[in-house]
Structure 1
Amino acid sequence: MDEFRALHLPGSPLLLPNAWEFGVGAFLAAQGFRALGTTSLGVSAATGEPDGAPSTREATVALANRLAKLDVLVSVDVADGFSGDPAAVADLAEELADAGAVGVNLEDGLAAVEHQTALIKAVKDRVPDLFLNARTDTHWAGDHSIRDAENRAKAYADAGADGIFVPGLAAPSDVRKIVDIGLPLNLLFLPGKVTFAGLAELGVARVSLGSLPYRMALQAAAGTATAVRDGRDLPLSPPSYADVVALLP
C-alpha cells in the first residue's frame, strides 16, 4: 500500500482509469498507467447484472485476480461491499488483498454514518494495509449540503479510512473544504465541469474516471458498427489484432 499511497499527492493527483475486464486493463497498463481502478457499473453491465448488486461479487473478485497479474497497482470498486454485514465486507476486503489488490473503494449510498463507520472499521481491522477509499454519495445520489459531506468525511477519517471520495463534488470552495480535512481527496472527472489541471490546483490527490471509459467504449462500439453500415469513416483508429494478442498472457 505504501507505493499506492505515495501516488496520492495533493496538487499532483493520481489519474486512475477504471477497467471492467482484463484486456482493457492490460491496454491501459501498456499506456504507462501505474495504477488502475475497476468500475462497478462496467463489471455489472458486462455480467448482465444491476450496478453493484451482490450477484456481481464473484465477477469483481475474479477481475481483481486477473488484473493483479499485470504490473500495475489495483484498487477495486466494491460498491457498498455487497453486504450490510461488517464481517462479510471485511471478508471481501481480505479476499481482494490476498488476490493482490492494494485498495478498495467503499461507498456509503447515504447509509447511516454509524453503519458506514462500522464497515470501515471492520475492513481496516482485518486488512490494515489495504488503502480504503471511503466514498460518500452526498453529491452523487443525493442533494446534500457540503456540511453533510464534511461530517461524513470526518467520521470516515476517524474510523480509519485512508482517503475520501466525493463523486459529483465540483465547486472549488466546497472542494477545498474537503481537502482541508487532511486525507487524500478523490474526485470523479466530470466532463465539461472540471479539468484535471483545475482539480490539481485545488489540492485534489486522486482523480477517477469511474464508468466513463466503459461508457465511451459503448459509444465507440456503436459508432464503429453504424459507420460500417452507413459507409462512413471509422470514428477511431484501433490497435491491431496482433497488438491486442500481445497483451494477453
Structure 2
Amino acid sequence: MNFRDLHRPGDPFLLPNAWDYGSAALLAAHGFPAIGTTSLGVSAVHGKPDAAGATRAETIELAETISRLGVMVTVDIEGGFSDDPEEVSGLVATLAEIGVAGVNLEDGRPDGTLRPIELHQRIIEAAKGHGVFVNARTDTCWLKTGDTLERVRAYGHADGIFVPGLSDPAAIAEVVAATPLPVNVLYRPDGPPLARLAEAGAARVSTGSLLYRAALGAALGTALGVRGEPAPPVPAYQEIAAMLR
C-alpha cells in the first residue's frame, strides 16, 4: 500500500505527528504505517518561532533521519519556506530524494493573513511532479479569515485538502462535498471522536502539535509531581508558540 491509498473517505487513517527521531521511532514501533512531522515541535526543539519560515534546514534534517524508520513520512513544510515557486519546487525535490511520501503546504502567514489564492495555487503546482502527495492546507478556520470553500475549490489540483480548526461534522461534510480530493482534518481532544470524523467523510485525521504538547505537559507534570504539586493541563498551542517569539 502506498501513502495515497491510506486516504479513504469515511475510513480515515490516523496520522500521528512527531518532532524528533525518538518520537517518530516510538510511533513507528507501535504500528503506525505513516508519520507526519509537526512544525511547532520542530521549531520548539530548535528554539525558533513556528510558521515563520525559520526551520527549513531542521525540517529537511528531521525528514532524512526519520525516513530511515521504514514507515511512510509526510513533512510539514509550513508555506514551503518561500513565496518563490521555484524554491518550493527545489525543496520538495530534495525531500522526494530523501524518500518522503508527502508534504503539507499551508496558505497561512505569520501575520495572520492568508497567502493570495493565485500565489498559493502556483506554489502547489510547483510542489507537484516530484512524486510526493501534496496536501494543500488552508488556514481559514485556524486564522478565522477568508472563505474556506473558495480556497478548497481553488486548491483542487493538489492531492489532498487539509483544513485545521474544522471540527464540526456538518462543516467537514460540506468541505468533503465541495472537493473530489481526500479531506484531512485535525483531531482535537475537545472535538468529535475519530468515528464521528469518519462519518463526516474525513479521509485522514492528524494529531498536529497535540502529541508534542502532551509530551511537554507530561514532563512538566512529572517534575511538579516530585515537588508534590498537581499536574497542569496539556499546554495550548498559543502557550508554546508564545515562548518562541
Return the TM-score normalized by structure 2: 0.89
What is the aligned counterpart of 1:222 among 211, 220, 223? 220
Cα displacement string for residues 97-122 of structure 1 (whole angstroms, at most 9, x for unaligned residues): 11110100000012110010010111
Question: Partners in 2 of 1:226 and 1:65 — Cα distance?
Answer: 35
- Determine if contact 1:18/1:211 at 8 Å carries over to the other structure: yes
Residue 240 of structure 1 is matched in structure 2 by none
Contact 1:187–1:206 (8 Å) recurs in 2: yes
Out of 124, 127, 130, which is 2:128 matched to?
Answer: 124
| Deviation for aligned residue 1:11 | 1.1
RMSD: 1.5
CA separation of 1:171 and 1:232: change in aligned 2, threshold 3 A: closer
Summarize the alignment of residues 77-88 of structure 1 with structure 2, pairs less than 5 Å apart.
77-88=76-87
- How far apart are 1:217 and its partner, in Å? 0.5
Distance between the aligned counterparts of 2:86 and 2:144, measured in 1?
27
For residue 173 of structure 2, the aligned residue among 153, 176, 181 is 176
Residue 9 of structure 1 aligns to a residue whose secondary structure is coil
Residue of structure 1 in register with 2:139 after alignment: 137
Local SS of the residue matching 1:187? strand
SS at match of 2:128: helix
Whichever residue aligns with residue 174 of structure 2, its letter is: K
Q: Contact (CA 8 Å) 1:43, 1:59: kept in 2 or not?
A: yes
Distance, in Å, in 2 between the alignment partners of 1:194 and 1:60 is 30
Alignment coverage as a number of residue pairs: 225
Structure 1 residues 228 and 95: CA distance shift in structure 2, 3 A: same
Answer whether contact 2:138 2:162 (CA < 8 A) is retained: yes
Give CA deviations for 1:19-48 in whole Å, capped at 9, x if unaligned: 000000000001110000000000000000
Structure ID, larger Rg? 1
Q: 1:241 maps to which residue?
A: none
Look up the SS of the partner of 2:3 in the other structure.
Answer: helix
Q: Output aligned runs, 1:93-104, within 5 Å.
A: 93-104=92-103
Question: Which deviations, in whole Å up to 9, do the C-alpha atoms of 1:64-101 show, x marking residues without a partner?
Answer: 00010001100000001111110001111111111110
Question: Secondary structure of 1:95's partner?
Answer: helix
1:134 to partner: Cα distance: 0.2
- Segments of 5+ residues of structure 1 without an aligned counterpart are 234-249
In structure 2, the residue matched to 1:115 is: 119
* Structure 2: runs of 5+ lacking an equivalent: 109-113, 232-245
Query: Given the superposition, is the C-alpha separation of residues 164 and 232 from structure 1 closer, same or farther in structure 2, using an over 3 Å criterion?
Result: closer
**CA deviation vs aligned residue, 1:164-208 (integer Å, no higher than 9, x gap):** 000011222221121111110000001112211100011100000
- Rounded to whole Å, the distance in 2 between the matches of 1:116 and 1:54 is 15
* Distance in 1, Cα, partners of 2:73 & 2:38: 12
Task: Give the TM-score taking structure 1 as reference length.
Answer: 0.87
* Alignment-mate amino acid for residue 178 of structure 1: V
Task: Tell me which stretches of 4 or more aligned residues in structure 1 moved more than 3 Å.
Answer: none
Contact 2:88-2:123 within 8 A present in 1 as well = yes
Q: Which residue of 2 aligns with 1:195?
A: 193
Among all aligned residue pairs of Structure 1 and Structure 2, give the percentage whose two residues are the same amino acid: 52
Contact in 2 for aligned 1:44/1:53 (Cα 8 Å) = no
Aligned amino acid, residue 216 of structure 1: A
Letter in structure 2 aligned against 1:111 = R
